[in-house]
Chains A and B, each alone.
Chain A
Amino acid sequence: MITLVDIFIILGGIAINLGIALFFWGPRRSGTRAALASNGYQEAMVLVKGGYTPDVIVVQHDKPVRLHFRREETAACSEMVIFNDFGKSAKLPTGETVTIEFLPEKAGEYEFSCQMGMFRGKLVVE
């Protein structure tokens, strides 16, 4: 016999699941634009701590990009960042700033992630 409590519980479960899906996979706000420095590089600082902050970086194409990663955690998961589309990767020792340079030639969206793909970010090239 299904009671009223059961119905509430089931509805509650469905609501929680919807909430989870929306929270993790729902639409995200647009990213941070990399600043154009006087040396001609588009530069941005990325904090690595449980994820990438900012995780969406907007740059312009055909201008060199310099991303400074600073990892502030010791979990081994995030010890590497990989820009597979640009063939770049770097080890990120805790507490040090590591710079990655590349030239995005074509507009588009390029993912970057840790080695295991748990942390991910996006580079939007305009």
Chain B
Amino acid sequence: MNHQQTITSATTGTADTPGLRWIELPLADLIEQQGAVLLKKELLALDGVQTVTVNAKGKLLRIAYHPAQLNVDTLIKSIRVMGYAVGTATTQLNIQGMHCASCVTIIENTLLKTPGVLSATVNLATEKAYIEYVPGHIDLIGLVRAIEVAGYQAHETSTPTESALDREEQARSQEYGTLLLKFWFAAIISLPVIIFSYPDFFPVLRNWLTEGSDARRIVWGILGILTLPVMFWAGSHFFTGMWQGLKHRQANMHTLIAIGISAAWIYSGVAIAVPQIFPSEKLAEVFYDVTAVVVALVNLGLALELKARGRTSEAIKKLIGLQAKTARVIRAGIETDIPIEEVLVGDIIVVRPGEKIPVDGIVTEGSSSVDESMITGESIPVEKHTEDEVIGATINQTGSFRFRATKVGKDTALAQIIRLVQDAQGSKAPIQRVVDQVSHYFVPTVIMLAVSSATLWFVFGPTPALVYGIIVFVTTLIIACPCALGLATPTSLTVGIGKGAEQGILIRSGDALQTATKLNTVVLDKTGTITKGKPELTNIVAAAGFKEEAVLCYAAAVEHNSEHPLATAIVEGAKASGLVLPEASDFNAIPGYGVEAQVEGHLVLLGNAKLMSQRNIPLGDWEEEARRLADDGKTPMYVVVGDKLAGLIAVADTVKEDSKTAIAALQSLGLEVVMVTGDNRRTAEAIGRQVGVDRVLAEVLPQDKAHEIRKLQLEGKKVSMVGDGINDAPALAQADIGFAIGTGTDVAIEAGDITLISGSLHGVVLAVEISKATMHNVYQNLVGAFAYNILGIPVAMGLLYPFVGILLSPLIAAAAMASSSVTVVTNANRLRGWRPKEKFA
């Protein structure tokens, strides 16, 4: 599948023999000796092939050929026929200037004739060309030129995600523009409509347009005609929306508005056309103002809502914007800037100070410090040396270095993060299911309430009953706002999950986010989560007559020959204190006891109490000292020089700097913190005391961790587990929330509901805080939206009228409805300003 991942680029050139050309093609599959011979034979059988060299190790195929007899495409096709995949790349180009289907053929043929192009498909509808080509033989610029030669303009599409985002942005701003235009149109027409609808309020008009006069009827008739374009142009989406819904037997906001405004318009029309059917002249009123103003206000509300919703996904836009555009790759020994899409796995990339690292990889040469805050949320720059992993989109600060690309395109950490965040933003929190059920019944119920209240007003209401009936009917329809309900949860979720991503916390779903707010217990794996997971030198105790440095020096000199992790810790410790290690000879490891070697003419022993008693070294008070160190969770080792005990060296898996504060922060969030480890109880409790956890589960075998989680859950607790995604996968899956601690570029760890990109435990604190803030916001929105509808609808129905004589005007209802959904989205956007309670790092 991923051929491109394992290949290098192709190189071409002129061969030494005149008339010959050579090409180096990267092979996707490793080729065996026998296969290589066969391939070579078959290739040589082709007309025009002069020589073939197969470099099985480098997966390179070097072919010298006569260009007159053979072209590259035939060559590549033949290789494919033989069953070998040649590394190719595919790209998309946007094409301008295409008018007809024949253009498609012209471009396709031009491309196919271009050396290096294997296949080309042009789509007239999307105006795109999809091209498969051999990188190195032709590049994007070459492809663009080939299309230009055919008479069309072509330009690169940016990364698919970015173009999708642009399109979305474009569609959004277009929609916004249309809504705003419709708003202005309706608003301008509203003005005269309002004035002439109520001539009795204006002395001049009152005398001119007397009640029941023909002049009044004619003016009102003109108003009716004026509001027609408002309804059917500025408000057209309400009708099409209603109609589309009705076809599916579904009702939505459009249904409510469309029925409301058309009811007002039709009533007014009847009142003008046949006023005599009304029992009294008072009843022959017009409501064109309602139609025009409702359309204007609802459109304004929709436009503002759209704008605000665009802001909710700002975090993802930021992430996508992080992507580098070009990479400086070494190809055929020369540094070339190439588009990021053409970078292949295995390419060596040069990064200079201040530049963005284009893709994920491993440093091969040089060192530098790199600002990874945009990905991990960690603000302190990270030192990078040879063999260290670098993450694409992070920024190189001080030095320059070269690295080998390991992940490109959609496999990079950034691309995975973007995908994960988008998926999570598209998921639903459990609470949304409740809301979904409500919204299923909401709109039809509102229509039924409107019909019922209109009926009741007509039968039992005061005169003019028909006018009151129609006002109540329209107001009830207009004030109800299903959008506020529907927007409440997803908008907050989008902002909250995006906010998490900014802090290096990937909340995988709305479900995880909601559950994270209900946690009681956090289980932490000791090794690698609380501690660094790598032993370090912690103590040196020198006996009388020895210096601490000397003790360390002897010990490190011996251990220099060993590969044990404890030995590495001692050697690193010595190097850190700037010691120059003397040569050791006659190294001997005594399994279960320790090691010995000759250093500067002395026999040096390094080991445990068993080794000491075997060699008859008296321990005396030192035994007590060693126990004290062991009680602290450290591993003590005796150092003997000659036949004298020189001192003790202790090594331990040290606690991460910020573990203690993170655990305290978790406890202050009301969470019980449990540490789980395979260590013996004494060591475990020592570490537990150091960092202040509430409970220690020691001597737990790795495979039993999930069982321990289950036991905690049986205590009725919501349990989360924090661990690395590989060894702890079953425990993470068993937990209500699994926090997978990721390191480096492997962010898409499948286990785990929340991934912490930086290794710090503070991520757990932040994740819980963000989840709580988000769910709090969701509840605010839901309570607000429900309260609005539950209060607004009865008032609109006129429930207050019998008691306090209040009846809402449809105009006020429209304003309320438009502002309610804007309020919900604006409230969700407040989350964007969320900051962690503590400042870490």
Can you report 8 A-B residue pairs in the complex whose CB atoms are below 8 A from each other?
A23-B249, A24-B251, A50-B240, A50-B248, A77-B483, A84-B428, A113-B436, A117-B436
> Is the CB–CB distance between A53 and B248 below 8 Å?
yes
What chain A residues lie within 8 Å of B237 (beta carbons)? 75
Chain B neighbourhood of A93, CB < 8 A: 164, 167-168, 171
* A76-B448 in contact given A49-B244, A115-B490, A116-B486 (Cβ < 8 Å): no
Given A20-B447, A49-B244: A87 touches B171 (CB 8 Å cut-off): no
Binds B, one of A9-17, A33-41, A58-66, A101-109: A9-17
Binary flags per residue of A1-25, CB closer than 8 Å to B gives 1, else 0: 0100010011011001100110111
Which residue of chain B is the closest to A90 with respect to CB atoms?
Answer: B426
Extra 11 A-B pairs, beta carbons < 8 Å, given A13-B452, A84-B428 = A16-B451, A50-B241, A50-B250, A52-B248, A53-B248, A76-B309, A88-B423, A116-B483, A117-B486, A118-B250, A118-B253
Q: How far is it, in angstroms, between the C-alpha of A20 and the C-alpha of B446 when the chains are bound?
A: 10
Give the complex CA separation of A76 and B237 in angstroms: 12
By Cβ-Cβ distance, the 4 closest A-B pairs, closest first, are A50-B244, A89-B426, A116-B486, A51-B248
CA A49 – CA B237 in complex, angstroms?
A: 12
Instruction: Name the residue on B nearest A26 (C-beta).
Output: B249
> In the complex, are the beta carbons of A118 and B486 less than 8 A apart?
yes
CB distance from A84 to the nearest CB of B (A): 5
Determine whether B194 belongs to the interface, using a CB cutoff of 8 Å to chain A: no
Q: Evaluate contact between A20 and B448: CB separation under 8 angstroms.
A: yes
CA distance A12 to B171 in the complex (A): 44
Interface contact B459-A2, CB-CB below 8 Å: yes
Least CB separation from A55: chain B residue: B248
Interface residues on A, range: 35 or more
Task: Give the docked Cα–Cα distance between A80 and B237 (Å).
Answer: 19
Q: A24-B249, A116-B439, A117-B440 are in contact. Are A74 and B175 (CB under 8 A)?
A: yes
Cross-chain contact A10 with B459 (CB below 8 angstroms): yes
For residue B459, which residues in chain A have a CB less than 8 angstroms away from its CB? 2, 6, 9-10
Residues of A within 8 A of B243 (CB): 50
Find B427's partner among A25, A87, A119 (CB 8 Å cutoff): A87
- Bound Cα distance A49, B240 (Å): 10
CB distance from A43 to the nearest CB of B (A): 20
Q: Check B167–A115 contact: CB distance below 8 A.
A: no
- Asked if residues A51 and B245 are in contact (CB atoms below 8 Å), the reply is yes
| Contact of B444 with A by CB under 8 A | yes
Q: How far is the CA of A116 from the CA of B785 in the complex (A)?
A: 13
A75 touches B241 (CB 8 A): yes
Cα(A76)–Cα(B435), bound, Å? 19
Chain A residues whose C-beta falls within 8 Å of the C-beta of B441 in the assembled complex? 25
A31 → chain B closest CB, angstroms? 12
Closest Cβ of chain A to B493, distance in Å, is 9
B180 contacts chain A at the CB level, 8 A cutoff: no
Cβ of B737 < 8 Å from any Cβ of A? no
Q: How far is the CA of A89 from the CA of B490 in the complex (A)?
A: 13
Point out the residue from A20, A88, A91 that lies within 8 Å of B168, measured CB to CB. A91
Report Cα–Cα, A113/B306, bound state, in Å.
20
CA distance A9 to B309 in the complex (A): 43
How far is B373's CA from A59's CA once the two chains are assembled, in angstroms?
Answer: 46
- Residues 452-466 of B contacting A (Cβ, < 8 Å): 452, 454-455, 458-459
Beyond A87-B423, A93-B168, is A116–B458 a contact (Cβ under 8 Å)?
no
CB nearest neighbor in B for A72: B244
Give Cα distance in the complex from A10 to B454, angstroms.
Answer: 10
A68 to B728, CA, bound (A): 38
Contact (Cβ within 8 A) B250 A82: no
In chain B, positions 735-782 with a C-beta closer than 8 Å to chain A are none
B423, A76: Cβ atoms under 8 Å?
no
Instruction: Name A89's contact: one of B423, B451, B485 (CB within 8 Å).
Output: B423
User: Which of B426, B435, B485 sits near A82, CB closer than 8 Å?
Assistant: B426
Contacts of B178 in A (CB 8 A): 74
Q: How many angstroms between the C-alpha atoms of A101 and B121 in the bound complex?
A: 24
Task: Give the residues in chain B near A118, CB-CB below 8 Å.
Answer: 250, 252-253, 439, 482, 486
Contacts of B426 in A (CB 8 A): 80, 82, 89-91, 115
Chain A residues in 8 Å Cβ range of B485? 116
